[in-house]
């Protein structure tokens, strides 16, 4: 159960009393959850809440996050980071907080972009941009990393350095690659990288964590077939891709049955010719999402899918071509990085769920797993909360301090 106290109270240590600390805190927001204490002064909490609400009102989709980045820059200006890197991987931002001693570099990442979906909520901070909305919670993730900025302003790392990364274009799968390929990334190449994602369907404040793969690799496959037109009265004079297209749709979705490890193919769109009742079609397009829990399995799945489609096209004498879009690597949780996150949850006495199977959805953070030791974990946003990408979703403000505190505890382990 969660209780929020917003009034002057006096505390003693937990050893003296299970409900007191030995310090006086004026007008603080005290979150008491499962005997765990999250202390965030009311002024800071309201700052983060107001920031999130503003970001929610003015969403920008992947590649267009210019004003969002400006708002984050304004928030961080009084926090005096030691270095600010702008326009990394597009509109991305990196804030660097240096320690006094040499040590490791850790990166904490959130996402700048919203979704091209119309919001249907009755809230004061509803999106003001028609057809665009923060329906994945990236506004809340930004608030959490901004809260980490407030913490680092007051308490720099003792050793090493902490990077707060606001990454563009997560939803399209292009942002992480753009950041990593940017020459500026060499300045901040981390030893560890951490991120969280809020997860509806789990209790608020619950931590969902796993060693190894946490989210799947995925890619959008576009298959194009080309035959020949003819008059609809004489279909034998042309070469319609209709039958081949139908076979490919069925065959692709059956292909994972032959794979030794988990994989999934979902056909999401198909188009045949044009609406012309006097003409047989010459062109067809099939679009499918390919998923696997491991990157090498994903590569094999793509190779087998292309080979299968090519065989069918050849059987019907059709030309064929392939394109890929929205490619995501699997997010892989390194054992060392996992230990930091697991220990943080233990120290905070948070309810923790150790999942056995990875999530089937994908996260752009997975690309960082190829370059450094990473941890991506889930933060419960409510058992009955609207699901991600639904038009009535809104990030719950009261889990912001939980996310901030998890990252603070990880920093404490690595940098103090």
- Known binding positions for Mn(2+): 136, 138, 171, 197, 389
- Which residues are bridge partners to 368 per DSSP? none
As a dihedral over the C-alpha atoms of residue 197, residue 179, residue 405, residue 399, rounded to 10 degrees, the angle is: -30
Helices and strands: H and E segment counts in the chain:
9, 19
Under a CB-based contact definition with an 8 Å cutoff, are residues 286 and 223 in contact?
yes
Do residues 159 and 415 make contact, with C-beta atoms less than 8 angstroms apart?
yes
Rounded Cα distance, 157 and 98, in Å? 7
Annotated binding site: 136, 138, 171, 197, 389
Q: What does each C-alpha distance from 378 to 107, 334, 340, 372 come to in angstroms? A: 17, 15, 14, 19
What torsion do the CA atoms of 99, 376, 119, 179 make, to the nearest 10 degrees? 60
Question: The tokens of 194 are what?
Answer: 């951490």
SS3 percent helix, strand, coil of the chain, rounded to 5, is 35, 35, 35
């Amino acid at each position: 159960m969660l209780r929020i106290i917003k009034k002057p109270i006096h505390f003693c240590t937990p050893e003296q009393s299970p409900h007191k600390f030995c310090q006086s805190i004026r007008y603080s927001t005290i979150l008491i959850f499962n005997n765990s204490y999250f202390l965030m002064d009311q002024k800071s909490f309201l700052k983060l809440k107001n920031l999130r609400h503003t970001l929610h009102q003015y969403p920008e989709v992947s590649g267009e996050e210019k004003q969002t980045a400006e708002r984050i820059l304004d928030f961080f200006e009084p926090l005096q980071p030691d270095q600010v890197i702008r326009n990394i991987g597009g509109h991305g931002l990196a804030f660097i907080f240096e320690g006094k001693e040499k040590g490791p570099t850790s990166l904490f990442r959130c996402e700048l972009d919203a979704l091209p979906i119309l919001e249907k909520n009755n809230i004061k901070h509803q999106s003001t941009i028609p057809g665009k909305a923060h329906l994945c919670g990236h506004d809340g993730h930004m608030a959490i990393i901004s809260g980490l900025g407030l913490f680092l302003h007051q308490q720099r790392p003792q050793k090493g350095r902490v990077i707060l990364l606001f990454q563009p274009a997560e939803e399209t799968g292009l942002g992480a690659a753009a950041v990593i390929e940017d020459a500026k990334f060499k300045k901040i190449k981390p030893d560890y990288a951490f991120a969280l994602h809020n997860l509806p369907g789990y209790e608020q404040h619950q931590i969902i964590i796993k060693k190894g793969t946490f989210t799947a690799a995925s890619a959008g496959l576009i298959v194009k077939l080309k035959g020949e037109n003819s008059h609809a009265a004489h279909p034998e004079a042309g070469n319609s891709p209709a039958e081949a297209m139908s076979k490919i749709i069925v065959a692709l979705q059956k292909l994972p049955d032959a794979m030794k490890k988990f994989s999934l193919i979902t056909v999401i769109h198909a188009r045949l010719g044009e609406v012309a009742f006097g003409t047989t079609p010459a062109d067809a397009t099939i679009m499918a999402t390919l998923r696997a829990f491991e990157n090498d399995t994903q590569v094999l799945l793509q190779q087998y899918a292309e080979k299968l489609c090519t065989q069918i096209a050849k059987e019907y004498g059709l030309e064929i071509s392939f394109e890929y879009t929205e490619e995501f690597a699997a997010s892989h949780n390194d054992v060392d990085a996992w230990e930091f996150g697991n220990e943080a949850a233990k120290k905070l006495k948070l309810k923790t769920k150790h999942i056995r199977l990875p999530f089937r959805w994908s996260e752009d953070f997975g690309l960082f797993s190829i370059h450094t030791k990473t941890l991506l974990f889930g933060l419960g946003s409510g058992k009955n909360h609207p699901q991600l990408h639904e038009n009535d979703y809104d990030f719950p403000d009261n889990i912001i301090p939980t996310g901030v505190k998890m990252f603070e505890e990880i920093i404490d382990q690595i940098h103090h």
